[in-house]
Amino acid sequence: MDWSKTKTIFIITFLMLNIFLGTQLYSKVTGSHMGILSEETLPERLESNRIEVQLDEPEAAVEASPITVTPRIMVGAMNSGELIRQNAELVDDLTLYSELDSPYKLVDANLTASVNAFLQQYVFQGDRYAIATYYEEDQKIGLLQTHEGRKIDQYEETNYHLILHVNDDFAVEAYEQSALNVSDQGRMQELLTPMKVIERLMNEHQIRVNTVIEEAELGYYSSLQVEEADFQVYVPVWRILADDQYFYVDAQKGEIQKIQPLE
């Protein structure tokens, strides 16, 4: 046997193996570094996609828990003695209708403050409601009940807990009121921040380039209706307004809610 020749073959094979392993290691390390370099941070992604976030505290930490809701009997409101300067009656156990003795003038330039002043004077536990929508053509203002300052909604624009009817002079003449009993379910949990929600929407290609994020509002939205039960479960949801389009994202799980437009 030619040991010299065999030795040379072993050396060459060993060198080739080293070169192969070295190449594999280099490719792995280089690929890892390239991955790190190519992975943009969220601020960089926002800038490169020309997405402007016009929120006051997009990184603010917030805590909340799911809630359960049951309809509230309105007899207590009728018997409260608080419904002064108006004629109130029960439409049914769950709905109160009231006409004011004199119309209450609202200020269009500062609608929220004006409506809040009206609620304090005329509506039973009026501080628990917040404006959702003003329908100018229909001459009515829709309000939703709140929990810890956050609106309780059902993704439906017509399902309001309080409706103010205004006249041509923009004065409240009457209102319809319903109410909810609300209780927290489970322990308080830290929620996703608006920036995390925006990142989630970007990852799912829901937000286009050259978009302006105008608003992020946290509310409670219907999640589960138990059959043959008189309660409903609501979960914390971020409502993101981007270029006049609303996106709804579960504030705990990050799931994007698919909302069917109303007919």
Compute the average pLDDT of residues 64-68.
Answer: 95
Which residue would you say has higher pLDDT here, 103 or 226? 103
Asked whether the predicted pLDDT for residue 154 surpasses 80, the reply is no
- Under the banding of pLDDT at 50, 70 and 90, the label for residue 148 is very high
- Under the banding of pLDDT at 50, 70 and 90, the label for residue 40 is confident
Instruction: Number of helices (H) and strands (E) in the chain: give both, helices first.
Output: 5, 16
pLDDT on residue 106: 97
Taking CA atoms, 34 is separated from 31, 46, 138, 188, 203, in Å, by 5, 21, 59, 40, 20
Nearest to 206 by CA among 49, 44, 58: 49
User: Environment class of residue 164 by beta-carbon count within 10 Å: exposed (0-12), middle (13-18) or buried (19+)?
Assistant: buried
For the chain, percent of residues with pLDDT exceeding 90: 70
Compute the average pLDDT of residues 170-199.
Answer: 96
- Write out the H or E segment, with its range, that includes residue 236: strand 232-242
Nearest to 45 by CA among 213, 214, 162: 213
pLDDT on residue 20: 40
Range in 42-51, 100-109, 128-137, 251-260 the model is least confident about: 251-260
Compute the average pLDDT of residues 198-225.
Answer: 91
Q: What domains does the chain contain, in order, with CATH numbers?
A: 42-65+185-257 (2.40.128.690), 71-182 (3.30.310.160)
Token output for 200: 């989630």
Asked whether the predicted pLDDT for residue 5 surpasses 90, the reply is no
Token output for 58: 């997009």
